[in-house]
Every structure is written in structure tokens, then in C-alpha cells.
Structure 1
């Protein structure tokens, strides 16, 4: 990555919502990408069964970002232990190290009290090619108010972070680059957010990734979570 003339600073985008640039250095970006591509149980497990899929909404639309889930399978607008909207296979397991990464990220962004004893047990891994987008939505299907952790790899995107009442303004657009962290909890836990644009060809040359990979970590809060 080119040296910044003016270093990017962490920023509170809204109460309880913090952007931390370059949270993952180049070495840790490569390690996470390696796990996502070949390691167990991330991207190496994107193949069927319970593999990478196109998400279809109840209204018949499709999401342009493709997704694979770990721990709990998300489908609009609920969770299950099987891919109920696909091949019916059991969802792939959520690794303990990824939960620890989520707790550390939440604590670094919002302070030690934010993560607390949060047991991160859901990962939604979204892949965006140059034409993919994500409409404004809320992460409202969990039974926990623990902060949501979002990590970016690859191409830069415009991450739009809004308010808790409407998909429209007011919102803030944040440039999310490879290695950046965004955490939102507290009064912003149910804020609308989305990705209106990906900037193709902006991934670090040494990463070896075409497109954008987003790893979102959540706490389910479900009674039978283990």
C-alpha cells in the first residue's frame, strides 16, 4: 500500500460506531485471507455443501454480494442451523479463534467494556465483485445487543452508515480499505448500513485478491447457542 501523506485516523462515525483504519496490518490481512481461501473452516469451506451462495429475498430479488455463513446460517430474515434456503446442509462451524478476534476488535474500537463476555458465534462472509452492492439494512435478527464487528479485505468500498429510524439520510459515507475495522454497538447497534459502491482494482497488490471480502462477526444470543 502506498505511504499516506496524512495518516488516516480512527473516527467515531456515530455514538457507538467506530472506524479503525489499518487495524489489520499486511501480514494479518494475508493470514485472514489465507484462512478464508484455504483454511478450515472459512473460505476453503465455501464449496458445497452449505457453501457460497446467492441470497434471495422473500420478494424475489437477489443480493449481488455472495455469502457463506459460519455458526448460524442467516437467511432473510432469520437464522437456522441448516441452509434452509439452499441445499439444506448443516451450517459450517464457527472457529474459536474467530470469536476471539471479534472480542479483541470490539474492545479495541469501543473499549474493554464493549466486548465484555460476548460470545461471538456467527460469521457472515460476503464476497463483492466490482458490480456488487449491499442495500441499506439493519442487523436485527440476533437476540443480542453485542457490537457487530466488520473486517474488510481487498478492494476499497464506500460503507454507508446511517441512523436507526430510516434507510435514508442522515448517513455518513466511510472509505473502507483492506485491513480496516468497523464496529457498531450501543445506540448504533440497529443503525441502517450498506455498501453502495466497490472500487475495483484498489486491493493491495501483495494481497492477491480481486474483489472485496467482508467478514462480519455477530453474537446470536440464542438460547441453544453453544
Structure 2
């Protein structure tokens, strides 16, 4: 259960934790808007269902994904890229909900990145056993813009390393409502999520949901 991993379910969070230069963890920043965010995720998924995309090497990802905004991040045999159309439907991705964009802009400003306005949001759905290996977010055109990542549901262990894949990696527990922002000197740092453990969260059940906001185009 969640308490077995981090001590208790969603303790009060107000801390601001610097992970590295340009990278800040805002504890509980999204809790106040949790219900609006979860309802909006459901609406996005109705129009663009979650799916387990395939890497260029042919491996199905353990994390299910969908997108909203002007473009969506996709992966298939042709490679990693942003596409304005959902390849499964041929239609544009759903419009980004206002509560998504407002939260991302507000968190970026609090972390020292004023003026950030995302045009893409990748939504990741983790079930127990899913993980995200160390990687860099480098498919965006403007790498001067930060990444904003929102955690909802089951707790997860976040890995944050350096620009080189073999740089030392630190681990940070992410709880429901936590928001990570990284950019500037940390923009291309490797990061990932360790295998999600079993548990049940009162808001999401046996799932973790992650909103990752980018300025992609």
C-alpha cells in the first residue's frame, strides 16, 4: 500500500525542495486543483484513449499514454516526435483544458520561469509494475523552456540524474499533488520513475497519473 512506501498517505505538504540548479520540487502544489485535473483527464481520455506506445526498437512501453494540446508526443517504429494529429484517430489531439495550462504556468512561475505557457501535455498512466527508464526530454524545439510535471494518485520514486546517463542519480518520493519543474542548467538532465508498487489511492484507485507539460513547437 502507499503507506508502506512513504510512511503515510499524502501527508500535508508545503515544502519547496531544490533538486539541482534550475530544478525545484513543489510539494502539494496541485492538491487544491486535484478534482478539476482528474475530471479533465477523463474528458481527454474519452477523445484520445490511453494506449501503450511502441518504441523505435519495437518494445511496448509499460506506461500507457495520451496527449492534449497543439501537439502530442508519440513514439513508434519511425522514432520519437511531436505530432499535431493522434495517429490512432487521425484527428487533432484534444484541446488542453484551462485548468491544466493555468496550473503549469503558475508552477513554472513559482519555480522561477515566468511566462511559460505549455502547448503540449503528455499524460502518463502508471499501473503497478510500470516504470519509466532514465531519459532526457529533448524532442522540443525550444530547450530554453522548462518542463512541468504533476503527480496524481499512487506515490512513485523519481530518479533525477545529470546530463550524462552515467552521472550520479538521486531519488525523491513523489506524492499526490506534487509538482516538479526543471529547466535552465537542469533542462536536459536524465530522469525516470522506478517500478510502481502496488497500492490504492482514494482519488485514482490502483493508478498513478502524471501530467508532463512542455513548450514543444
Which of the five TM-score ranges fits, normalised by the shorter chain?
A: 0.7 to 0.9
| 2:128 and 2:197 in contact (8 A); partners too | yes
Q: How does 1:30-49 map to 2 (within 5 A)?
A: 30-37=35-42, 44-47=43-46
Q: Which residue of 2 aligns with 1:159?
A: 158
Q: Which residue of 2 aligns with 1:126?
A: 124
Q: 1:28-87 CA distances to partner (integer Å, 9 max, x unpaired)?
A: 2223212222xxxxxx23135x42111101110111110011121211311111123x34
Q: CA deviation at 1:95?
A: 3.0
| Gapped regions of structure 1 (runs ≥ 5) | 38-43
SS of 1:214 mapped into structure 2? strand
SS of 1:63 mapped into structure 2? coil
1:209 matched to 2:194? The reply is no
CA gap 1:201/1:215 in 2 versus in 1, 3 angstroms: same
Q: CA deviation at 1:169?
A: 3.4
State TM-score, norm by structure 1.
Answer: 0.82
CA RMSD between the two structures: 2.1
Match of 2:103 among 83, 90, 101: 101
1:80 matched to 2:79? The reply is no
SS of 2:103 mapped into structure 1? helix
CA gap 1:80/1:10 in 2 versus in 1, 3 angstroms: same
State TM-score, norm by structure 2.
Answer: 0.85
Q: Which residue of 2 aligns with 1:40?
A: none
| 1:156 and 1:202 in contact (8 A); partners too | no
Q: CA deviation at 1:118?
A: 2.4
Q: Which moved more, 1:61-70 or 1:97-106?
A: 97-106
Q: Which residue of 2 aligns with 1:41?
A: none
SS of 1:34 mapped into structure 2? helix
User: Distance between the aligned counterparts of 1:13 and 1:219, measured in 2?
Assistant: 22
User: Distance between the aligned counterparts of 2:204 and 2:81, measured in 1?
Assistant: 34
Match of 2:183 among 185, 189, 195: 185
Q: CA deviation at 1:208?
A: 4.5
Q: CA deviation at 1:91?
A: 1.7
SS of 2:39 mapped into structure 1? helix
SS of 1:131 mapped into structure 2? coil
SS of 1:125 mapped into structure 2? strand
